[in-house]
Structure 1
């Protein structure tokens, strides 16, 4: 059974990431702060919050020993904090001065990776705080070191997974590993060696906007290089899977989705679901020595081995309430699936008999439910209308990536350009700003050395790709 231990309400905006050390919990937010708590009683440390970023903070991670905390931000920096006092130990300015989306330490804390929205992957020698190399990639949103620390994986918004070595050589690329983009990836802490003791095999998990969780085998051969092979595809969640992680011993695998569920898998058995927090028929849990107990909305499982048939088409289906289709475009079958998802299975036949599709669904009223669909129960009619209103209010897709928003207008850019301060803006907005604000940077307030604006074609392509997927 899973129970809530503590809830903290300190951040004033979206919480983008959280990380554990052996004794601390760190959280970072779009409110520009990083907060640090003791895991003993979840009290906030005296030096928290950490306020060194000038813009929203996307990611945070601890060094192996927990002595340092790194955080990265739209302000194009990765800040290293010492956990002894909360003071800034170093500010690592990302090459290209683009928003930094992700950062992570190597297992021995010898290296730190940071990835930015302009596609730049930077590798830092952590003891010296010096940049060892930077290479171009597509917009990077995920990265993870192998347990041996000699390789790292990156994932991009274009859906690609790449394996690199510490010389910044690209060893393997899996194009379009996830349709619509990768959201997270992580190596398992376990690794296999050959008889000579050489590391030869790793497990890597990735997830994406395609609602899938994928387990890969990464082979390292000292004569032929590196290869990736897809081992399993898990489709037990119904919307974009935003995060995934292995437990410290590599025995369990967890994923979180936009369908508001968290699923836990037995990793050593490659896709056996042992817990899902969606108590509905669409996630039936079954298996040997397993039973499901519902108690006041809490789901309890006794025993391991509750399997979900992840590879089947039915298991992989996205319910329409969480799909990217506009409700107006729903078919009659989509409406039926939505009714089942909302616990209104008894109405499916009536809706089908009256050919209710998405457009008709949105136009329903109490009168039509009563006179046309013959739903006599007042409570049931009210529930249907309430569910329709909730659906209208809910967002159809995930949040807009920060780098797609103009810092001036806070709207998705149509014609992004790079100004002299290294930031991207909507052309019309920065033109107007320069004319009225004495040539200062909207982000730093420092004078712009030139008014020359460079089209950001890479960002424009990414925005177009993202827009077409919505």
Structure 2
């Protein structure tokens, strides 16, 4: 009797295991189908974006060529553009919306790239480097920015070699060890800045 019950239980377990196995296979097949569909949609979307971007670039290039010709014809340079009001631009350009767009773009550029930068001649020649990218010890651009316990960001090699130059440098340490935390976001910003400056 016991053997019969064990056989029935074993058979039921085998049936359940087979059902789970079949279900897992269906899920995997469904996932593969979903993944294939998703990859196709991603590729189609990328192609669509590239096509639209190409069209936009062509339109933008034509508008820029027209604007450059107009600026040359009117003998307008960058410094005079910055001093112009919307009304001045409206006198030069034919449509109000075009004038407003150019004025607003110039204002946005001035806000995005303020002139309060330091000129640095080492790796990036004649480019303005934002102060936040410079290590306060050697005043050079940081390769590996780290945050010290005093909440100041230094280049790792500079702080490790010159931390004793900082007043109250013992506050940067825990149990005699210099505590530094990587600032990956700033490191990425600096790398992007350097890449775009070349």
TM-score normalised by length of structure 2: 0.38
Which structure: greater helix fraction? 2
Bigger Rg over Cα: 2
Which structure: greater strand fraction? 1
TM-score normalised by length of structure 1: 0.20
Structure with higher RCO (Cα < 8 A, 6+ apart): 2
